Amino acid sequence: MSADEYIIKLFFDRDRRAIEEADQKYGKYLLTVAYNILHNEQDGEECVNDTYLAAWNTIPPEKPASLKRYLCSIIRNNAISKYRSQNARKRYGAALCIDELGEYAAPDEREAAAIREVLDGFLKSVSRRDMTVFVYRYYYAYPVEQIAAHLGLSCSSTYKILDKMKEQLRQRLNKEGITV
């Protein structure tokens, strides 16, 4: 049994050690994701705690295939919601990346699922490097400078990759009948 399977089993058993184990394995990672969006450690810690509460309330019945992805999805949503509520009129820092893609707000779950499907297909169709740049920027909210350094690219090249990919994604969404 893997560590993640063990932690999920603890959640299913309603054992509070599930949160401790999840925090020990993913706490720093989750805090980094929240901090990249919020740029505030206290708010990030609050989002981490909210993430564990959400996981506690949803596992079971949910049984995530990847605990890391499941927790990351929750913390991103928590951090983005907190960012938007705190900064309704202010815009600063790397969290601007949330708005760089434009408002792909789907009016209903069916359209949201269609957008997710197009995005998944789009990311599978690009090079691993381009996918990494895109995901680091728009999913994990890493600053362009950090992405460039991590991948050994110049900031200029990284911006060009992101611009090219945003245009390709827009075209793909339009081709699928999703207006952006």
Is residue 171 included in any domain, yes or no? yes
Contact 46, 37 (CB under 8 A): no
Domain containing residue 112: 96-175
* 7/81 same-domain check: yes
Tally of structural domains, the chain: 2
Which of 67-71, 93-97, 117-121 shows the highest mean pLDDT?
Answer: 67-71
Could you tell me the CATH number of the domain that includes residue 40? 1.10.1740.10
DSSP letter at 92 equals -
Q: For the chain, give me the number of helices (H) and strands (E)?
A: 9, 0
Could you tell me the CATH number of the domain that includes residue 101? 1.10.10.10
- Three-state DSSP class for residue 137: helix
**According to the model, what pLDDT value does residue 164 have?**
93
Residue 112: pLDDT band (50, 70, 90) is low
Contact 74, 54 (CB under 8 A): yes
CA 169 to chain centre: 17
Is residue 150 included in any domain, yes or no? yes
- Three-state DSSP class for residue 105: coil
Contact 36, 140 (CB under 8 A): yes
Domain boundary among 31, 55, 86: 86
Please tell me which residue, 176 or 12, carries the higher pLDDT value.
12
Query: How far is Cα 123 from Cα 12, in angstroms, rounded to an integer?
Result: 33
The set of residues, in sequence order, having a beta carbon less than 8 Å from that of 43 and lying 6+ positions away, is 34, 79, 82, 86
- Three-state DSSP class for residue 66: coil
The set of residues, in sequence order, having a beta carbon less than 8 Å from that of 125 and lying 6+ positions away, is none
**According to the model, what pLDDT value does residue 95 have?**
41
The HSE-up count of residue 161 (CA atoms within 13 Å, CB side) is: 23
Phi-psi region of 166 (alpha: psi -120 to 50; beta: other; left: phi over 0): alpha
pTM exceeding 0.95? no
Average pLDDT of span 19-45 = 93
Domain boundary among 31, 66, 86: 86
pLDDT above 50: residue 153: yes
pLDDT above 60: residue 137: yes
* 51/126 same-domain check: no
Tokens for 162, please give them.
């992101």
Contact 119, 169 (CB under 8 A): yes
For tokens 């993640």, name the residue.
4
Is residue 180 included in any domain, yes or no? no
Please tell me which residue, 116 or 30, carries the higher pLDDT value.
30
- For the segment 123-134, what is each residue's pLDDT rounded down to a tens digit? 899 999 999 999
Is residue 91 included in any domain, yes or no? no
